[in-house]
Structure 1
């Protein structure tokens, strides 16, 4: 098998810019929509929006690699990193590390990319891992760096990266490429093209012993932030995690060739979907604030607890809707009280109801609180 880094012409990826151009235009327009929506968020709630979106990214970029994090610990760590009033939930080492990296990516988006930047992110991300030989530096082991699956005795090799002794030179060239294609430079690339190439290029070098996927997605976010000129809150990892199989399939396919137009098209569509996800979450937060203004002082303690739980589920809400049994489980109340509470919430316009009898479900009533044009 010949890998992309073994092909004559590496790392000069080929692509049809005309096929990516419509996506680039949509990205710039959508970026303006997201920025405009964020400006509608109350200043007092922007910090929470930032914590919510970055915690989602931290959770999902880890989930892509099969690592499940404690959301409350991630959020607690993010609050500390941003200098916000901390909650009482403990920050665990793994969650604290990914939170530190996410904040560093967010805060230093406009700085040039250096070896030290990548080493710092790697240390933040993996300082808790005692199994790794090298943390905060490029891999140096003599064994081949391979992405494999299947049985131990019959592994399937999906990709093999350049040998470790080539990594320093490959990364020096990568950093030069990343910085010379930044906005304002003579060789500047459009936003989606640059971010898609920077991710595929980095993953093909696979310079670290572990953490390459998470660092590669962080680089794509840094690249996008540089091109739009402000810190990125794009739900990229959140969206990729939903299409994880397609993500890995596209990476594998394009680590064997240098013609990467299909990869850039897939990546561009993914970023646009991620922008829409971010926009939906911003609008949901605005609707939440208006909902609470409308219903302030109208809920009893049980109803308050349930409404808070519904909002924690995000724009998608409870899968299948809130049932009376859900309400009882959340509040610990009786069925008769649950029925009265839910009926009251419908009557005052906080919830709306669908279905009948045992199929009855309840949903947040947000229509009156949507963002005005």
Structure 2
């Protein structure tokens, strides 16, 4: 008799069980944070809303790929996303690479068609877009190879097996079952589920089936976004992949712990906490976009073209700032100038109190002083901020 090592081999598959009572406080917090996010975003200008949308979608596309060990070109990706959404001609430059163009197409479809029912065709189209230009795998179709689909690590000659997915001959039946579940648990469906539970199950359920030769993690996170958007009634702008990427090891650990049985409370608890943290990161990004707009209102006319180019590059790094700090060497590389000109430009920025300076000699680092442009209330106090904005 064959051993039943994996969750999909158990007698209760795919009837997932979980402790509703333990998860309900997370559902309540998620609903509250969703209201705060929507309230804060309503007070952004149309220009800032567009900028925020591009920023989040770009970051999510970058990070969902980085989780799988693939690193995209930010400028090419941002240009691709702007092209897909028909905004920000100033972003467009250079050659757009096939991989960045492909994931931009997938993100556009996810964003604009979030409310449509899920189909096999949708998932295969996403896969085809995701691997745009690739000829080394089966694009836009489920697995057909009779070889075991294994998730492994370690030496090639002595790999550690973390998971073995269902064989290819079972994929179509499993996917038909998954798609039926996804659609009937949607808002208004016959078996409607609360948002975090449905999105969390969708992620785990799909990645367990592992229907594609590659890209299953990225598509499972896209399904999470689709599920949350359907509940919200509009495209969700939440920094989920960015939040997962910050603690990638925890993500893979909890997935591995969950692949032996179908009692999934630990996974759903982790997932719910992660989504809520992602919501809070998004609120911080809103504050950052507001601070950026106010910064340029105050200082835009004081920057020469080189300084403006460098400042815009720093802003691209988001609220976390420039990795390792911003140096004169970074300035020279970004604006393509001489050491003497860089020294003069940076000294001017410090004198105007646009940059603050720390360290000496090669350890000198520069930082944008954005504190005057953030909301007077702490960016971590989102609930208070919403009340303040409502009163205005």
Q: CA deviation at 1:62?
A: 1.1
| Among 163, 174, 198, the residue aligned to 2:202 | 198
Contact 1:76 1:90 in 2 (8 A): no
Q: CA deviation at 1:276?
A: 1.7
Q: CA deviation at 1:196?
A: 0.8
Greater Cα offset, 311-320 or 242-251: 311-320
In 1: Cα distance, 2:261 partner to 2:359 partner = 53
Structure 2 gaps of 5+ residues are 377-387
In 1: Cα distance, 2:319 partner to 2:97 partner = 28
Contact 1:62 1:69 in 2 (8 A): yes
Q: Which residue of 2 aligns with 1:64?
A: 67
Contact 1:40 1:286 in 2 (8 A): no
Contact 1:254 1:260 in 2 (8 A): yes
Alpha-carbon spacing, 1:369–1:20, altered in 2? closer, same or farther (3 Å)? same
Query: Can you list the C-alpha shifts for 1:77-107, whole angstroms capped at 9, x where unaligned?
Result: 1112112355232221111111111111111
| Among 105, 121, 126, the residue aligned to 1:121 | 126
Q: CA deviation at 1:184?
A: 2.5
Structure 1 gaps of 5+ residues are none
The root-mean-square deviation of aligned C-alpha atoms, in Å, is 2.1
Query: Can you list the C-alpha shifts for 1:8-29, whole angstroms capped at 9, x where unaligned?
Result: 1111111111111111111111
Contact 2:229 2:236 in 1 (8 A): yes
Contact 2:115 2:230 in 1 (8 A): yes
In 1: Cα distance, 2:147 partner to 2:306 partner = 59
In 1: Cα distance, 2:191 partner to 2:305 partner = 59
SS of the equivalent of 1:40 reads coil
**2:220 matches 1:211:** no
Q: CA deviation at 1:169?
A: 1.2
| Among 310, 313, 322, the residue aligned to 1:306 | 310
Q: Which residue of 1 aligns with 2:383?
A: none
Runs of 4+ in 1 over 6 A off after TM superposition: none
**2:60 matches 1:54:** no
In 2: Cα distance, 1:90 partner to 1:325 partner = 26
Q: CA deviation at 1:174?
A: 0.7
Q: Which residue of 1 aligns with 2:80?
A: 77
**2:167 matches 1:163:** yes
SS of the equivalent of 2:139 reads coil
Q: Which residue of 1 aligns with 2:23?
A: 20
Query: Can you list the C-alpha shifts for 1:45-98, whole angstroms capped at 9, x where unaligned?
Result: 322322221111111111111111111111111112112355232221111111
Q: CA deviation at 1:341?
A: 4.1
Query: Can you list the C-alpha shifts for 1:228-247, whole angstroms capped at 9, x where unaligned?
Result: 12102211111111211111
SS of the equivalent of 1:215 reads helix
Alpha-carbon spacing, 1:322–1:66, altered in 2? closer, same or farther (3 Å)? closer
Query: Can you list the C-alpha shifts for 1:142-196, whole angstroms capped at 9, x where unaligned?
Result: 1222112222222221111111111111111111111111122342111111111
Q: CA deviation at 1:39?
A: 2.2
Aligned residues: 371
